[in-house]
Chain A
């Protein structure tokens, strides 16, 4: 069983839509949760970081963690064509090792 499950998409939405990206995980020891964005032919870059359960907002982006359900989400409001990328969730129990999802490819159409 994979440590982290993520729907690969692709997800295609019109500009201005609200986007919801999700991951589930199996290891209850995970307490650090990250979202990375990866553009084509580039390495991933950190978008959001959350510790334990709860919500975190940064501009148009909101990260949610529900540890009881082992479920994390990233919401993008007012999506823009420049948001078109692959979004990877990542998580860790103790910062020694990190476990990444396979990524969801998002396409925002103008």
Chain B
């Protein structure tokens, strides 16, 4: 399977603990996005990378959250001192910037997500 993968798929942690999620994008995609989704809502943008550069962060991304993409391939999202309000599905997506073959190439390909439960 050459789609976007995320690990782990589920994580249960106690309040105050740190957690780290990993995302492996589609290999030729230079753009990578993190979103958070709660029940009944659409994905909320958290941050965006182009290659290894983090170009935009949402105000939702407090100082307890940090994301990296050290070599422009996989990315990690770390949440420090987790709170119950952090419980959500964390989605990763990737895209290929620019046009390919004349067709639009702006669509994002999403992974299955990591469901975080903070108890």
A interacts with B = no
A residues engaging B (CB < 8 A)? none
B residues engaging A (CB < 8 A)? none
